[in-house]
Structure 1
Amino acid sequence: MKKKIILFFFLIISIFTFAQEFDFEGQYKYARILSSKNPDSSEIVLNKIIDSAWKRNLPEFLAKAYYLKSFNSYLRSDAEKSLDFADKALTIAIQSDYSIGKALAYRMQGTQYAKLGLLKESSASLRNALAEVKNNNTEEGHELKGMIYNSFLILLNKEQYKEKAYYSKSAIQEFQKLKNVSRRNELLISAYTNMGYNLSEVKKFREAKPYFVKALSLVGENNYYLRANILNDIGFSFSKQNKPDSAVLYYQKSLAIVDRYGFNEKKIEVTKNLEEAYAQLHDDTNTKKYKIENLKLKDSIAYNKAMAVNKTLSKKEESFNQQLNESHSVSKGLIIACLALIIILGAVIFKTLRLRKKHKEAVSRIYREGISPVIYEEDPQEISEDIQAKNTSTPTEIKISPEVEENILQGLKIFEENLEFNNKNISRYNLANTLDINTKYLSTVIKKHKKFNFNQYINHLRINYIINQLKNEPQYRKYKINHLAEITGYSSHSAFSLEFKKITGLHPSAFIKTLDEIS
C-alpha cells in the first residue's frame, strides 16, 4: 500500500513537471507562422515565449522572440516599435554572443532602415547580419543568409538589375539547401516572388511568369501576407505589360487580404499601385479614391516613421559623441603614454651615452697604459694543498735560494715570450714540471714577483695578449668571440668573456666596438 501511494505521488509530480515544460522551439515556429497570417495572434504567443524565456534565462529564445516582435511591428508599419524590438534582440544576442540572434536583429534593423530611407544605415546593418552567418552552414545559417539576401533587394533600384538578380538567385540557392521541406517552401515563396518582380521590372515577362507560378503553387491558403505579396507583384507584372485591367484584379485581391489582417506596410504599396493602374485605365474616380487612401495611410504612419528616424539619428549622434569622448580619452592616454615613453627613452639614451663615455674612457686608458693589475686573490687549490700539508707534516716556511729564484724567473720569462700561457692544457703542475721545480716554489715566486696567484697570472697574460692583438692587428676585431677564446686557450666563450670583463671592466664585444671608435 505504501509503495502504491509513493508511486501515485511520483506520477502526480511527473505530470505536473511535464505540464510546466515549455516547447520554446515549437512555440517560436508557431508564432512565426502566425506572423504572416495575423500578427496580433503571433504577439500573444511571443509574449508567452518572452515571459518563459526570462524565467528560465534563455537568451537565445528571448532574442528570437524580440526579433519576431520587430517583424510584426514592421508589418503594421510601426517603425519605432520595430526598431525598439530589434534593438532589444540585438542587445540580448550580443550579451549572450548568439550569432543567429545578432544576424536576425541586424537584418530586421536593415529592413526597417531601408523603409525609412536610411539607406546607409540599412546597408551597414545588413552587412553586419551577413557577417554573423557567412560561414554558418547549418539549417538556420542557410535560412538566414537567404533572408538577408532578400532584404538587400530593398536597397536597390530598377537600374541595378544585375545586383538584384544576384541577390535573388543567392537567396533561392540558400533556401534550396534547407532539408526541412515545409520551411524551405515557405521561404522560397518570397524568393520566387522577388525574382518574378525583378524580371518584370526589366520587362522579362516570360521569364518572370514561372517564378510567380512556383510561388503560388507553394503558398498556403492561410499564409495571408505571402499570398498578398504574390498577388501584388503579379499585378505589378501586368501593369508593366500595359494590362491595367488584369493588374487591378490582382491588386484588389491583395488589398482585400492586407486590409483584413492589418498589413499596413504592404497596404501602402498596394493602394499606390491601384492608383497608378486606375490612372492607366483613365478611371479618375478610383484613381482619386486610392490616391486619397494611400495619402491617409502615409499620414497615419508618417509621425511614427518620423519619430523612428529621429530616434535612429539621435542614437547615431549619441554613439558618435560617445566615440568622440572615448577618442579624447584615448588621445589623453596616448599623450601620457608618449610622454612617459619619451622620458624613459631619454633616460635610456642618457644612460647609454654615459655608458659609452665610460667605455671610451676605459678603453682609452687600456690603449695607452695597458690593463691594470688585479688584486691578488688566494688560489683555492693552493689553500687546499697548504691545509693538506699542515695536516700531514710540520709546516715550515718555504725558503728559496736566490739562484733558484732567478732560474724560475728566467723560466717564466721564456714561458711568456713563447706565449705558452695560451696553451689550453696549461696548469700549475705542468708549468712546474717544465721548469723542473715543485709547485710550491712556482706559486711563491709568482706571488712575490707577479703579485698574482697562478690562475690570475695566466688569465692576466692571456687577456693582455689578446688586447695587444686587438690594438695592433685590426683583423682580430673581426673575429668572433668564440675564436678569440680559442686563441687564448679558454675552453668556452663564456669563460673568456667572464675573465675579460673581470680584468677590463668591459665585455669583449663592447671593448672591440669602442676600440674601433677611438682608433
Structure 2
Amino acid sequence: MWFLIFSGVILISAQSNPETLQLLDKAYKSLYENPDNTFQILQNIDENKESELIKQRLQILSSRAYNFKGDYAKSIEQSINKDLSENRNDNTSFYSDNALAQQYQSLQLYKQSIRISQNLVDNASKIKSQRYPENLLAYIYQLNASNLMVQKKWKEAEENLKQSNSLLKDSDEDFIISIENQIYETFLYISQNQIDKAGKAANEIQLKLNKTPQYIFLRAFNLDNLGRIHFLKKDYQKSTENLNQGLELIQNKSYDALKNRIYDDLSKNYLALKNEDLYQKYYSIYKEQTDKLDKNKKEAIRNLVKLNDQYENQRIEYSHKNFTSNILIISIICLIGIAAIIFTSFSEKKKTKSIQKQIDFYSKQQEFSKKIEEKEIIKTGKTEPEISKKPVFISKEKESDILARLEEFEKSENFLSKEMPLAVLAGQLETNTKYLSEVINKYKEKNYNNYINELRINYIAYLLKTDSAYLNYKVSYLAEKAGFSSHSAFTTVFKSVTGISPNTYIQQLTQNQK
C-alpha cells in the first residue's frame, strides 16, 4: 500500500510577528497549490529575528515542500543543515518526533515510523497538558492511522482517524486535515474491498474540493483514487478519464511522487484496454521516474542516519531530560543496519562487473544490485552468503518472537520489495541473520531465498486468480510487481513453485473463466 505524507504543522506563538504568521500560513497552503511557491514565500522571513519555535516551523515547512516534490534526500538534508536536533527540548520534541516519523514513512521505513507515531499517540494527554495546538494531535492521529493501515489494522486505523477529526475546528488548515482524513478513509474502504463505499467517499471529497480549486494536490490525488476505484470496478475508460484529469492538474507542478503514481495507474489501464502504445509510453515513464525516486530514497536514508546521529548526541548531552530517546535509539540501531547493508551492497557490486546487462531501463547503480538479486534467485546451490555450519542455539523465547514477527511480515506486502536480502529483513525484525536463517530453515523448511520467492509467487498467483485484470498483463509486468529483477528470473522461480510456467498458468485460468 502506498501513502503520501501530507502534513505541515502550524505552530502559533503569542509573541510571533503577525506578518510572519501570515506568511507561514500562506506557505503552508502553497504546499497544496505548488510546493515551489513555498520556498519563495519562506524567503521573505528573516529567521534570525524569529523565535526557535518559528525557526522550527520554517524548517518543517521547507522540508515538507521537498517531500511533496518527491525529493526525499533534500527533505532530510534540510533538517540536517538547519540542525533540527540542536534546539530540541520538551517544548519542541513532539514536533520533531512527528516530523521524523513522517520522514520514515515517506521512505517506507514503516517499522520505525510506527514506533514513533504510536508513542506520540500514547502521549496524547501530555501533549494536551503542554498546550500544543490541537491540530498537532490531529496530525499525529492521522499519521498513526496510516501506519496502522500498513499493518492492516483497519479498525484501529479508523478509530485514529475519528480521533483526528474530533480535534478539528474551522480553520483552513483544519479543512485540509479533514480532507486528508477522508482520503485515508477511502484507502480503508478499498483495502477492505468496500469499493462502492470508497467511490461514494471519493465523490464527496471531489464535491468539497470543487469549492477550493486552489488545492491542486488534493484534487489530483483524489482523482487518482477515483481512477483506482473505477479500475477495480473494471470501468477502465472512466478510470482513465479520472487519471488524465488528475495528471493534467499537476502536469506543470513539481509533485513528482504523485505524478509517478498516476503514470503507474495509467499504464495498468491502457494495458487492460489493450492499448499497447499508450501502455508502453506510460509504463516507460513510470519506470524511469521510479528509478530516480528510488535513487533519491537511498540518498535520503544516508541523510537520515546522519540526522539520527545528531538526535543521539543530543540525547546523551541532555540525558537528564525525559525525551522520547528510547524510540530514537531503536531507530538509530535499525538505520545503522541499513547503512551497513548499503555499504555491503556497494562492495558486492564490484564483484558483479562480469554479469551481462539484463534490463536497459534501470540506472547503473540499481542495475548492479538487481543483478545480484537475479543471480541469487537462479542459483540452486549457494543462494545466500555462507553462514557458519555450526549449530545455532536460539532460546525458545527468541524463536517465538522471530516467528511472530515473520507472521506479521507475511501479512504485509514488504516481501515484494526488490531490496529484501536476508540482512535487510533481519534488521527489520530486530534480529541477526544467523537467527533468522535458522528459524526459516527450521520452521519454514526452506532457505531464505526460497522462502521469499514462494511468498512472491503465491501473491502473484492469488492476484491472477482473484482479479481477471491481471490475466491481461504481460509476464514482465507481473515479474516487476512480484519484486523480481527480470522476466527470466520470475519465470524460473514461478515454475519451480507451481510446476508450470506463468503463461501456462494464465492460459489455464483464462480457459476456466470461459
TM-score class, shorter-chain normalisation, is 0.5 to 0.7
Task: Determine which of 162, 174, 194 is the counterpart of 2:184.
Answer: 194
Residue 78 of structure 1: aligned partner: 71
Residue 134 of structure 2: aligned partner: 142
User: Do residues 34 (structure 1) and 10 (structure 2) align?
Assistant: no
User: Do residues 151 (structure 1) and 134 (structure 2) align?
Assistant: no
Separation in 2, partners of 1:119, 1:41: 30
1:248-299 deviations in whole A, cap 9, x for unaligned? Answer: 1111111122322110111121111111222222222221111111111122
Identity %: 17
Separation in 2, partners of 1:78, 1:32: 18
Question: 2:70·2:256 contact (CA, 8 Å) conserved in 1?
Answer: yes
Separation in 1, partners of 2:221, 2:244: 12
Work out the number of aligned pairs and report it. 300
From the CA coordinates, give the structure whose radius of gyration is larger: 1
What's the CA shift for 1:169? Answer: 4.2
Separation in 2, partners of 1:91, 1:320: 9
What's the CA shift for 1:140? Answer: 5.7
1:14-72 deviations in whole A, cap 9, x for unaligned? Answer: xxxxxx965222221111011110111111222333x2x3224x111111111111110
Task: Determine which of 157, 161, 182 is the counterpart of 1:171.
Answer: 161
Residue 56 of structure 2: aligned partner: 63
Cα distance change, pair 136–130 in 1 and its aligned pair in 2 (3 A)? same
Separation in 2, partners of 1:66, 1:132: 24
Residue 126 of structure 1: aligned partner: 117
Residue 283 of structure 1: aligned partner: 275
- Counting only pairs closer than 5 Å after superposition, residues 30-429 of structure 1 correspond to structure 2 as 30-49=26-45, 51=46, 53-56=47-50, 58-87=51-80, 88=82, 90-91=84-85, 94-95=88-89, 97-99=90-92, 102-130=93-121, 133-137=124-128, 141-155=133-147, 160-161=151-152, 163-219=153-209, 220-313=212-305
Secondary structure at the aligned position of 2:85 is classed as helix
Question: 1:70·1:81 contact (CA, 8 Å) conserved in 2?
Answer: yes
What amino acid does structure 1 have at the position aligned with 2:192?
V
Separation in 1, partners of 2:280, 2:166: 43
Question: 2:250·2:259 contact (CA, 8 Å) conserved in 1?
Answer: yes
Separation in 2, partners of 1:142, 1:320: 28
What is the alpha-carbon root mean square deviation over aligned residues? Answer: 3.3
Separation in 2, partners of 1:175, 1:227: 20
Question: 1:150·1:168 contact (CA, 8 Å) conserved in 2?
Answer: no
Cα distance change, pair 21–146 in 1 and its aligned pair in 2 (3 A)? closer
Secondary structure at the aligned position of 2:88 is classed as helix
Cα distance change, pair 239–105 in 1 and its aligned pair in 2 (3 A)? farther
Question: 1:200·1:208 contact (CA, 8 Å) conserved in 2?
Answer: yes
What's the CA shift for 1:157? Answer: 5.7
Which 10-residue stretch deviates more, 295-304 or 235-244? 295-304
What's the CA shift for 1:305? Answer: 1.5
Secondary structure at the aligned position of 2:105 is classed as helix
Higher relative contact order (CA 8 A, sep 6+): 2
Q: Which has the higher helix share?
A: 1
Unaligned runs of 5+ in 2: 1-15, 320-514
1:129-183 deviations in whole A, cap 9, x for unaligned? Answer: 445654444996432223223323554567x54x244324422442343232533
Separation in 2, partners of 1:323, 1:21: 32
Separation in 1, partners of 2:128, 2:162: 15
Separation in 1, partners of 2:118, 2:55: 23
Separation in 2, partners of 1:66, 1:323: 21
Secondary structure at the aligned position of 1:260 is classed as coil
Question: 2:118·2:144 contact (CA, 8 Å) conserved in 1?
Answer: no
What amino acid does structure 2 have at the position aligned with 1:285?
D
1:476-517 deviations in whole A, cap 9, x for unaligned? Answer: xxxxxxxxxxxxxxxxxxxxxxxxxxxxxxxxxxxxxxxxxx
